[in-house]
Structure 1
Amino acid sequence: MSGSRALGHLARSGPFLKRDLAGCLRAVTETAAAILAVGRASVWFFGEDGRSLRAADLFDVAGGSHAAGVTLDLGGRGVYRAALETERLLRIEDVGRSSPLADLRGSPLVPEGNSARLDAPVVHQGRLAGVVCCEHTGGPRAWTEEEEAIAASLADFVALALTADEARRAEERAREAERRWRDLFENAVEGVFRMDLAGRLRAVNPALVEILGYGTADALLAAVPDGRALVAVPADRAELRSRLRGEGTVRGFETTVQRADGDLIWVSLNLRRHLGAGGEPSGYEGTLEDISHRRRMEQEAAHVALHDGLTGLPNRTLLVDRLAQALRRRRAGQSPGFGVFLVDCDNFRMVNNTLGHALGDRMLAEIARRLSRLLGPGDTLARLGSDDFAVLCEQSWTPDLALRRAEEMRLAVMAPMEVPGHHDLFPSVSVAVVLDHGERETPDEVLRDLGIAVHYAKARGRARCISFEPAMRTAPLQALRLQTELRRALERDEIGLALQPVVDLPGRRLIGFEALARWAHPGRGSVPPAEFIPIAEESGLIVALGEMVLRKACALLRTWQPRLGATALTVSVNVSPVQLARPDLFELVDGVIAATGADVRRLKLEVTETALAQDLDIVSSRLDGLRQRGFRILIDDFGTGYSSLSRLHRLPFDGLKVDQSFVRPMLHDEDCRNIVRTVVALGHALGVDIVAEGVEDPETGRELARMGCTSAQGYHFGRPLSPADAGRLVERLSGGGPLFLP
């Protein structure tokens, strides 16, 4: 059983419907053990003073037994409680290395054999009430985001059970008090009434008067002479009449009745035909119980099972149900079709890793609000997973219209998000579209194609919209084939260089090149970098590819050096996050420089902003070591990641490159213009160079110059050149002074 189905089953289980706290806790621990495949699952509650923990239910899978009552005195070991109060979830992959558990190992909470855990805080009435522990044995374990979400949901179920238990106990106290003072009316706590055969009310007890909101029995009898009129739904009235005529008795009939103030409440009716002294029907008598609270609890439990706890949006389970309904309507000819949009956050894990889960949750909630503003009547917005949202729109779509709507979603999400204490975040998403053409029969097929399309979009650089095409289903096989061919291309030295000019904006002078990898496939011709770079990153071939590009760029620079003289021309080379993290990075670059004789002062290394999400101390040490060797460091694709100023100012670098996704539309998109202006101002404040990528027209170049941008590259100034053509430019530069470009 899937996690979502198991949680839905838990919400509808007997203990939750009956508000049986002990049964609910047993159901939670058994569900946790079954879904997450852990050796023990437990629920603990803090004492009133918060300095002790009591085991409310300990479920041992091996023994199949439940235990309770063990108490643990935390004493001075408050690190664990503090961690629970500050973290949404304690994800512990190796208990032996966990700081919050250091003082608790070997205790009843963390017994011998515990090796990995998911500890989810139980928050009840705004305070930390306890914790749900999902305890793995048998060695360290890497937890998935889905498993973390399940653990958090189980903690929510415990909080819901506590609320229901308190409500149940409050109701029991109220009923007991009411029974004592209503002893003269046959100890009835329910509303009791009698009607004649025509349905006229003849007698009512005080409980019924109170439930229906009338001041006195006389007031009720005067306002509602016909008791049948209390039932608000005509179909329910008809069913009651039919069953009473046939069976003479109705038990536990749930319906809505109208109170004196006009409000509708849920009640449970018990009715039977009353016989006179001679055995003939003389009327009806019955009881009425207000079950509105139970109904609300059931609805809340169902809501928890079908909605996302962070955003309140429908979850995957509910979306699948609505997709199934849309498919049925389309097959029945009741709908013109539908489109489904998958909005997938780019590099969201980096937000959690660098800025914390709380800020990540805040960003997801803001994305949900932004997407909600774009919904039309009948549209469904759902959160599918950690950073995936889906929008179901039932209407007739053309491919162009669907892609325009997808672009609206992408632009709405990428607006700046203000974060106190940090510079603004610029959320980036990729949007995939699947249109209904009648070839899919199940929701799973729709979601499968959505996943394929969004993976396709991310493989081509992220921050883009793409519509699913059947040919994409072969993409994984093609990717595997391309990976094999790329490995052979590296072995055969088939990867070459292209060099894109970089110009000084104020003077339009050539000041350098960016070295780009180019693959001339012997059978397919030129393979776009957008195809083979992601394959190289996913397969680990990016290390060999990066070294090859660096080696060839340095060798080319060495041939130019005798002609460059005092000119400041430089060559930039990209360094991938994988390369930056390798322990042999310095050995590699030292070897390349020694072998080629390139002047390291003319080399710039471009590090993508995503690389900064790694361990800050390691990244800072690597960048500092590269600068000490004479390299200049540029932060590439700036603005598409989530680096905070608190991290950025601690890193050694010499320049920022503004990503082309902001530069290209800046003349007609005010948000993009503001982003570029902000990055330029940030560069001036930090005293570093600013390079704008993707300049394709003179107007954009002039606007960047007015903003104070120092340099730029793009098709307006020159397309990537072959080494021979770049060499001719260098020859002109060295022979006749500055070389001016458009």
Structure 2
Amino acid sequence: MLQFIRVIAASLAMITVMAMVAGAAHALEPVSVNGDVDAIDLLPAVESYSSQGDRIQIQTAPGADGIVRRIEVRSKQPGTNPHWIVFALANTTDEQIDRIVVAPHFRLVGSGLVWPDLGASRIAEITPSQGFQPERQDDDDADVFRVTLDPGSRITFVAELRTAKLPQLYLWDPDAYKDKVNSLTLYKGIVLGIAGLLALFLTIAFVVKGTAMFPAAAALAWAVLAYLAIDFGFLHKFLAIAPDGDRVWRAGAEAVFSATLLVFLFAYLNLNRWHVRYSVVSALWLVALAALVGLAVINAPVAAGVARISIATLAVVGLLIIVFLAFYGYDRAVMLIPTWTLLLGWVAAAGLTIMGHLTNDLVQPALTGGLVLVVMLIGFTVMQHAFAGSAFAPGLMTDSERKALALTGSGDVVWDWDVPADRIYVSPEADQLLGVAPGALDGPASGWLDLVHIFDRDRFRTALDAVIDQRRGRVSQDFRIRAADGHYMWLNLKARPVVGSDGEVVRCVGTVSDITEQKTAEERLLHDAVRDNLTGLPNRELFTDRLDTALTFAKNDPSIKPTVLLLDLDRYKQVNDAVGHSVGDSILLTVSRRLSRLLKPRDSVCRIFGDQFGMLLLSEPDPERISAFAEAIRRSLRAPVAVADREIFLTASIGVAIFDPQAPVKADELIKDAEIAMYHAKKIGGDRIEIFRPAMRVERPDRSTLEADLRRAIERDELKVLFQPVVHLQDRTIAGFEAIVRWEHPKLGRLPPAEFTAMAEETGLIVDVGLFVLDRTARQLSIWQRLVEVDPPLFGMVNISSRQLLRQDLVQDLKAVMARAGIERGSLKLEVSESLVMENPEYAAQILAQLSDLGVGLAMDGFGTGYSSLSYLQRFPFDLLKIDPSFVKPNGRGRPVILRSIIGMAGDLGMEVIADGAETDSDAEELGQLGCQFAQGEAFGDPVTAEEARRLIAGPVRLRA
């Protein structure tokens, strides 16, 4: 049985070999090669073979001895089924001949309309029947192989194809091919240069005159320039493109060219004004072409085929539309007929070329030059139309006419004062503006003074007198004038004197414009700056200013005892969510009116923010009367508020802070005391009145209240950023600062980060807090770097949390912060804890690499307290290593050894070291001797404010340990 199987296998192998031999070519007729011809077309002498496995057997051309031999060639990739071609060359001379075989990657001729051939590498390898293997030459546009033919030799060549299509195959003399490439390169450079200048010119013209046709023409010119750059192979000079990547770019360029041609036709002919169907069809067509650009990545031939059909369709349909509109006398269409006719001719020639009817080698360069010519004519057409209007025609309008038109267009009123006759003339528009009878404003200047507001008369009179007395200058005066209905309007007078031959002012001529809206807007802005937009009450800034003034008087007058009442509506958020924001605003308006009715003339009420109101009480110095007043407020607020068909009951928590002459405080402190009392009232149930006691400052709020306070901390400017100095151990000068955030809590006072960062991390508020600290640090760092120029520049360090590091927007946030601040690259450093990095080292490595590329410095915080490995540490782009205080403080005999090891390892990794926790001068000396570059701690000062930090670095004073 085994013997039978072997026999069968041998028979099948024999049959396969016989089939291959039977399918192999008969002896080839070699192409004669001599030195008289520069190029030989090998395609007619080529025999092609379809896929026959990864090897092929052929009969060679008869040798010089007349013997026909058989050779077998294997493909470069075993197991593939490539296509093959075979040709033979014969050297009929007595000398050795060097030639090159050239197969272009892309050839427009015969590329096809549907599923076009967009080019690719054609030949993978050429195997000769004898001699050396042909050497592939470097060429971006063709597969080029150098072959050497010995005298009298006949060599058969087997070429393995990468694709089934071989549009052209030539045997070139190397020098002749070089001359051809050089001349063609020169031609391409000239055409590409013209196209580039044309695109740039149209772009500049668009900037100068921004009509819609200019950007459309410029886009078309840039699309043609991109197409030529791809077709000429210039794209390889700038981009690393895969061998078959030209197909995608070529298809995308043809789709973009079609799209820009459509946009130009639509914009130039202004088709949207003729019929809406033009806009709809153009929009759908443009969307389809945009989809082709994406399709080019998936299937380039299909995208290119559709784009070519679109170009041909657009040329024909465009000509029909142009002729149709020209028939109705549309100027733009008439001017475009010659250019579009030439475009149609170019499309026809391109169609004949891709269909294989025009095969000359000069066709493709001629078509590229013709395309540039078409775009150039389009540019000339656009320029002719755009600059042929009367506005650009010289000599058609005098200077006085231009000024008259400009004055009419501005809407200003002519104001002319005949000084000797004391008569003012204004154009009739002024009468209409003020609603007075025609000519009522014409007359002596004193008549105008009667209409000008009494507060503006002296200024108006003084301005006119000054011009007459000085005989020069300009009048620019804002004043109010009474209209016919009695209300006042704001006018602006701009005028200048006209001096006669005797040196005296004979006229004062100018314009008057209505600036009532502008003045109203300014008054509104001023009002909004100190008033609440909803209730019209003073805001916190104005309230604080009034309280500060009252406290100043109270220092000199014992009878004045300012009292601050701060009230916050209980459960207002739930009410607002239940009834809607518009009803909620109505409730706030009702509350403001009720509070205002309780006040006396000397008292004030303001809206702090949201549902919180403040009251300044000056009319009641007696504590009992103050308590009664607060109770009256509480009862007034408890009255139901009628909204639509329902009644809403409100309560409020009221905090009272009474001024104590024995312990004077500032306005902010008194408001803060009232706020502490108000929060105390809210904490114990609400609907209460609490008078501030110093003991309230030490009572801690619950977690939910602390979270709510932190949400408002940034808005209230309660977060403060302090800066702890970092010094050079070598000379004890300032190297930078570490940013440390403190919370100035209205009730608890200053809170360090440890007391609120954990809660902020859990609730997500750490993102807002961290971004706030980053922005403040970057701004201060920019100020310091402008103040002191040192090398390396001063740096600032900010600690970031895990929630910040894991955010996708961290890189963008840092980019925006650095752009606003304008700081030196690498001077803003982020401190990332060792444990945080090791939670997800792979993701952390990616984020840290992006931050490093952005120009952000990176410092590993708390090194030695985690469990990082040296292999991971080498992957992270840290430039600073911050040693944990536990290793810096003296704690045993092994401390110098550990510190020396850490510092040495950091130096080997190219990182600098900061020692955190230097407490004494001896610590600093020892750290410097061990090779540590920077240190921070009690030895160099506690965290300071930004102003104190500026003073530290502004002068020559150095920190002392």
TM-score surpassing 0.5? no
Which has the greater radius of gyration? 2
What band does the TM-score fall into relative to the shorter chain?
0.3 to 0.5
- Does 1 or 2 have the higher relative contact order (CA < 8 Å, sep 6+)? 1
TM-score of the superposition, structure 2-length normalised?
Answer: 0.28
TM-score under structure 1 length normalisation:
0.35
